[in-house]
A = this chain, B = another copy of it.
Amino acid sequence: MSRRRPIAAALPAEPLDPAQIAGQVIDGDCIAVMRRLPDACVDMVFADPPYNLQLAGPLHRPNNSRVAGVEDDWDKFADFAAYDAFTHAWMAEARRILKPAGTIWVIGSYHNIFRVGAALQDLEFWILNDVIWRKTNPMPNFRGRRFTNAHETLIWAARDARSRYRFNYKALKQLNDGLQMRSDWLLPICSGPERLKDDDGRKAHATQKPLALLYRVLQAASAPGDLVLDPFFGTGSTGVAAKALGRRFIGIERDPGHVALATSRIAAAPDSADPRLLGGDGFEREPRIAFGLLVEAGLLAVGDTLVDRTGRHQVRVRADGLVEAGRGRSQAIGSIHQMGAKASGGPSCNGWVFWHVSHPDGTLEPIDGLRQHLRAEIARGRDAAADDHDDGDDRMVDEAGDGDLTTYPEQPVS
């Protein structure tokens, strides 16, 4: 198989406490280290495993300079079977320590990504997307024998098919100028000052990933305070991005030199901004408003008529927070959603945007506008109350707006 270190079966398997080692880089084989972590303890895994590059010999540019490829021992495997066994082993451990709602990201190239993707499926991970990192500045194909290999592939997968995983949809839509984020991401490769060099000016790691890539991954599929594990930590880009975004991390790395480099790099890296600015989705779920509240608040009156956009359907507002249509035998009563579904003929309906009130000038306004009005009033009252108590060292923040409070220490503003 490979010339990697013997795995840790013989080493003492002292348990590790995830909370204790968060923010650290653990020196060791990732399989051995993961075995010491408890089940279901991390929220996300980001993995940049060896690519199994299989370069035949040294490659030279047309001007005869030599291309510095990946020639490290960690990228050497005897054959596909050896690579598959290795992949299966680390991935099974990663799945064990992943929380049920957690997701995994794995990055690779055509040399290994098909083995990786098949292994994920075989282990019953559930693929959510394959994401293409399109490089703005890839290395050209010097021989002119293939297409410029201008991308790498990331696979994003949930722990299983029924996972209620996190995806910060609105935050990413915002990042993409108001349109859904697509599965193809255009980002530069890691170069310039971001690229770590050793004392001789050579690159410190053969496959350092750009921070921008890690930012986007963490923004998409984790929340502030989440614990992110990177089993192939390298120079620690995952840690730097996690620190900047208020996520906690555990890094595992076999090469002691890289462990030291990553540790000092992260210590020097900027900390996260005010955690309140980092919210999971950036757009927390708004507090729920029952339709009946609009009547209580005087925004609608019992007996008012609601119409759909085309004017083809109408309902009357009842006192109990339901609406009714028709008279006598053909009368139907239900929630705004149920009656909207009935009217539109679909399996479901968002009554808030389906039904409208008619203004005197003939224009229609969705009742969602009334709801937003009411929400704003409620928020003003809540903020006034909160101002009286906002002076502690720790903040209690309802990240998701769902009543779960996350506590974490105050962070300096960077």
CB distance from A269 to the nearest CB of B (A): 27
Given A64-B345, A64-B346, A346-B60, residue A184 in contact with residue B114 (CB < 8 A): no
Contact B60 A348 (CB under 8 A): yes
Does more than half of chain A's interface fall in helix, strand or loop, or is it mixed? Answer: mixed
Query: Which residues from chain B contact A183 at a C-beta distance below 8 Å?
Result: 147-151
Cross-interface CB contact of A129 among B114, B146, B349, cutoff 8 Å: B146
Given A110-B117, A110-B127, A148-B180, residue A122 in contact with residue B60 (CB < 8 A): no
Asked whether A118 is an interface residue with its Cβ less than 8 Å from the other chain, the reply is yes
Cross-interface CB contact of A184 among B111, B144, B151, cutoff 8 Å: B151
Asked whether A167 is an interface residue with its Cβ less than 8 Å from the other chain, the reply is yes
Copy tally for this chain in the complex stands at 2
Which one of A131-139, A311-319, A321-329, A359-367 is at the B interface? A131-139
Contact B117 A144 (CB under 8 A): no
Contact B147 A181 (CB under 8 A): yes
Query: Which residues from chain B contact A169 at a C-beta distance below 8 Å?
Result: 144-145
CB distance from A237 to the nearest CB of B (A): 21
Query: Which residues from chain B contact A113 at a C-beta distance below 8 Å?
Result: 114, 117, 130
Given A114-B117, A147-B129, residue A122 in contact with residue B80 (CB < 8 A): yes
Cross-interface CB contact of A116 among B80, B114, B140, B344, cutoff 8 Å: B114
CB under 8 Å from chain B, chain A span 232-260: none
A228 to B16, CA, bound (A): 58
A109 to B153, CA, bound (A): 12
Contact B132 A145 (CB under 8 A): no
5 additional A-B pairs beyond A147-B183, A148-B183, beta carbons within 8 Å, are A109-B130, A117-B118, A148-B180, A153-B153, A184-B184
Query: Which residues from chain B contact A293 at a C-beta distance below 8 Å?
Result: none
Q: Mark A57-96, 1 if CB is under 8 A from B, else 0.
A: 0101010100000000000000010000000000000000
* Best-surrounded residue of A109, A127, A131, A183 (most CB of chain B within 10 A): A183
Contact B121 A80 (CB under 8 A): yes
Query: Which residues from chain B contact A110 at a C-beta distance below 8 Å?
Result: 117, 127, 129-130, 155
